[in-house]
Chain A
Amino acid sequence: MRESLREFALPVLAIAAALLLFGLLVSFTGVSPIEVWAILFKGAFGDWFSWQNTLQRAAPLMLTALCVAIPARAGLVVIGGEGALVLGGLACAAVAHALPLPANVVGTAVACLAGAIVGAAWIALAGWLRQHRGINETISSLLLAYIAIGIFKHLVEGVLRDPASLNKPSTYSLDAGLLIGGIAGSDVHWGLAVGIMACIALGFWLRATPSGFSVRVVGGNPRTAQLVGLPASRLIVGACAIGGACAGVAGAVEVAAVHTNANASLIAGYGYAGILVAFIARHNPLAIIPVAILFGGFGAAGSMLQRRLGLPDASVLVLQGIAFVLILASEGLRTVDWKRVGARPLQRLRLVQKASA
């Protein structure tokens, strides 16, 4: 019980400390920190309009966070989710344009599946490079992300470009029947449901299935995994593929629900914010859901900070950075035995009393 309390309390304290530090930082520019906190809350969770914005942003964050969390459970630090997201979105738009898909849910599913496959292949490549050539997956996945963005821009401004898009190169728009609509008439699209279901399903998979357990064994202790004869390489590449598929779906959903075509707005940094979400959730798929909503909220509040207080749009990035640093630093507190820290002065007092007696 105590252990799980700490599991919960440390991240909460770290985020609270991050908000405090962020308030201190903005106060240097002459903005009242209390006002900043109030707007952060209002812009994120203040009313139904803010909630819609928050949940809209939380959906891709959940999926890109899974792209970090699932490989992490297999022992890999993959940070190139942005690449899988971008290519997933491109694949969705390309398939919807090239194939005569039925203009209904089935067509949407096929287009998203294309995104998932491309995303899976992209991240699995980083896993394969590590297993078969010993290349650090953190570096390779990020390099692959930059390559993916290059390919994306090349194709969107080249063969896949809709000639009608003059100022902002875009692909052809998806057929209206293929678009993903809002849940119950709201702005919150069904991508949120996809994200939540993916988190729950993968959480269940890791916890309750033999293959999920094997992935955790490989990530926890590769030597043991080898000794009991688990196919480590296949499991690691598989975990990468699952993560990549999630990020690919994130891109496809963004295209089908938000942008309606693939253009440069897709490169919005969800892949990088997902890294933070996964680390705060300690790579636990179920914990990703609330953390993604929280950081989706901060993202939503960012534009309000800009409008109301004239803060730069990068302020949310600073908040994210501070939160990330503090979350990692709080790892150091995890092993501290608080009882002994508190007891030490008392013990000392007792010793002094004994000596004087």
Chain B
Amino acid sequence: MTADQWIALLAGIVGGALRVGAPFLFVSLGECLTEKSGRINLGLEGVLVLSAMASFGGAYLTGSPWLGVLIGASAGALLALLHGLLCSIERVNDVATGIALMLLGTGLAFYLGKPLIQPQAPQIPAIPLGDWSDNAAVRAALQVNALVPIGIVLALLMGWGFARTRFGLLVRLAGDSASAARALGYSVSGIRIAATTAGGFIAGLGGASLTLFYPGSWNEGISSGQGLIAVALVIFARWSPLRCVGAALLFGGAGAIGPALQSIGIGWGYHLFNTVPYVLTLVILYLSCSPGKVAAGSPGELSSAR
């Protein structure tokens, strides 16, 4: 490989980390909020696909990408609300409900999104971070989704909110000890439903960045388990919103290896390189979990449910 190819490959991976990492970032922040309240929402995979479709449709119909983002996030919040409500019914298991919503969200998105496969929708503007360079590949790779800075601010806000605000503390209380929250007179179900719904809204922003930035169109293969990887990411990030940012970028970079190699003409093992994020997730889970021990930083109600 020539030096230019190396630069292009590196730029592809770094740029890809920001581009491919955006949905990971939002879904892991949403899942982080949900899990802090003591529930696991595997249905965020369904939320991601449904909100991707809804934001694309919204942007296409209204002509404004930002309205599309709002519509997508709201659709995600609605599906997550359903998860929150279902799990509040006695004897209903949150993992099973998550699987059901994964199927339902994907099905609804494919069903309603059928007419959206052809059209083009207005896209979220890009922030050109690569203007300092005169290498075209670098400049193209460093076009950053305008939602990414919003996500980073959101992570900072969430980190601060969990430590300092009333709602943040209530969420943590419900997640760490439901009985303590109940004893203080708070409705644990209410807090969890609110946290799950807000988590769905945040994850919906991830769906919007899929269809309105990268890859930037709606099709039925738009998500392949990013929502689930994000669930594993939260374990890796030890339930800290700030560490979610780093983890999302790492996974984005891993996911960008295949396309980056292909862009410089190396096609061998394309499908294998595409599995790198999944393998990486498993390896990280393998290293960060240990038998019979609760993962560090895990909300108390989550571990007791297992």
Residues 6-48 (chain B) with a chain A CB within 8 angstroms? 42
**CA A153 to CA B291, docked complex, whole Å:** 34
Q: Spot the interface stretch: B88-96, B130-138, B163-171.
A: B88-96
B269 at the interface (CB under 8 A from A): yes
Contact B271 A157 (CB under 8 A): yes
Would you give the shortest CB distance from A74 to chain B, in whole angstroms? 15
| Contact status B106-A317, CB under 8 Å | yes
Q: Tell me whether B107 and A142 are in contact (CB under 8 A).
A: no
Residues of B within 8 A of A6 (CB): none
Counting CB contacts under 8 A, is B86 at the interface?
yes
Contact: A335 with B91, CB < 8 Å?
yes
CA–CA, A136 and B114, complex, Å:
34
Per-residue interface assignment for chain A, residues 314 to 338, with 1 indicating a CB less than 8 Å from any chain B CB and 0 otherwise: 1111111110110111011011000
Q: Which of B97, B100, B110, B269 contacts A317 (CB 8 A)?
A: B110
- Interface stretch among B57-65, B66-74, B224-232, B239-247? B224-232
Is B140 in contact with chain A by the CB < 8 A criterion?
no
Q: Is A301 part of the binding interface, using a Cβ–Cβ cutoff of 8 Å?
A: no
Say which residue of B90, B108, B111, B225 sits within 8 Å of A332 (CB atoms): B90
- What mask results when residues 99 to 142 of chain A are scored 1 for a CB within 8 Å of chain B, else 0? 00000000000000000000000000000010111111011101
B110 near A324 with CB under 8 A, answer no
- Answer yes or no: A239 CB below 8 A from chain B CBs: no
Chain A neighbourhood of B269, CB < 8 A: 154
7 A/B residue pairs, CB under 8 Å, sorted by A: A133-B290, A135-B286, A143-B232, A313-B110, A319-B107, A321-B108, A332-B91
The reply to whether B111 and A139 contact each other, CB–CB distance below 8 Å, is no
Instruction: Determine the distance from Cα of A138 to Cα of B306 in the docked complex, in whole angstroms.
Output: 12
A151-B272, A314-B111 given; A143·B228 CB < 8 A: yes
Q: List residues of B whose CB falls within 8 A of some A CB.
A: 42, 82, 86, 89-93, 95-97, 99-101, 103-108, 110-111, 114, 220, 224-225, 228-229, 231-232, 235, 269-272, 274-275, 278-279, 281-282, 285-286, 289-293, 306
Q: Is the interface of B mostly helix, strand, loop or mixed?
A: helix
Residues of A within 8 A of B281 (CB): 139, 143
- B104 near A322 with CB under 8 A, answer yes
A79 and B43 alpha carbons, distance in the complex (Å): 13
Closest Cβ–Cβ distance, residue A331 to chain B (whole Å) = 5
Please give, as numbers and ranges, the residues of chain A lying within 8 Å of B108 by CB-CB distance.
318, 321
Binary interface profile of A, 7-36, with partner B (CB < 8 Å = 1, else 0)?
A: 000000000000000000000000000000
Interface residues of A (CB under 8 A from B): 77, 79, 129, 131-136, 138-140, 142-144, 146-147, 150-151, 153-154, 157, 272, 275-276, 279, 312-322, 324-325, 327-329, 331-332, 334-335
| B107 near A314: Cβ-Cβ < 8 Å | yes
Give the Cβ gap from A155 to chain B, nearest Cβ, in Å: 9
Q: In the complex, what's the smallest C-beta–C-beta distance from B7 to chain A, in angstroms? A: 28
Interface contact B279-A321, CB-CB below 8 Å? no
Contact A320/B103 with A133-B286, A312-B111 known, Cβ cut-off 8 Å: yes
In the complex, what residues of A have CB within 8 A of residue B105's CB?
321
Q: Is the CB of B103 within 8 A of A142?
A: no
Q: Contacts A134-B289, A143-B278 given: A328-B271 contact, CB under 8 Å?
A: no
> Is the CB–CB distance between B89 and A331 below 8 Å?
yes
Give A77 to B225 CA distance when docked, in angstroms.
17
Cβ–Cβ contact A150 & B232, under 8 A? no
Q: With a CB–CB cut-off of 8 A, which chain B residues contact A328? A: 86, 92-93, 96-97, 100
- In angstroms, Cα B270 to Cα A153, docked, is 9
Q: Which residues of B contact A144 (CB under 8 A)?
A: 278, 282
Does the CB pair B99–A324 fall under 8 Å? yes
User: CB-CB < 8 A to B282: which residues of A?
Assistant: 129, 135, 140, 143-144, 147
Given known A-B contacts A139-B231, A143-B229, A321 and B100 have beta carbons under 8 A apart? yes
Which B-chain residue is minimally distant from A276 (CB atoms)?
Answer: B103
- Which residue of A129, A272, A319 is within 8 Å of B286 (Cβ)? A129
Q: Which residues of A contact B272 (CB under 8 A)?
A: 150-151, 154
Besides A276-B100, A317-B110, 15 more A-B contacts (Cβ < 8 Å) are A79-B99, A134-B293, A136-B306, A142-B225, A143-B282, A147-B282, A153-B271, A279-B100, A317-B103, A318-B108, A321-B100, A321-B107, A324-B100, A324-B104, A335-B91
Of all chain A residues, the one with the shortest Cβ separation from B46 is A321
List the 3 shortest-distance A-B pairs measured between CB atoms, nearest first.
A321-B104, A317-B107, A314-B110
Within 8 Å CB of A276, what residues of B?
100, 103
Question: In the complex the two chains form, what is the Cα distance from A132 to B291 in whole Å?
Answer: 6
Partner of B278, one of A147, A157, A314, A334: A147
B213 CB to closest chain A CB, in angstroms?
23
CA distance A144 to B86 in the complex (A): 28
Contact B110 A334 (CB under 8 A): no
Q: Which residues from chain B contact A79 at a C-beta distance below 8 Å?
A: 99
With a cutoff of 8 Å between Cβ atoms, the chain B residues found around residue A136 in the complex are 235, 285, 306
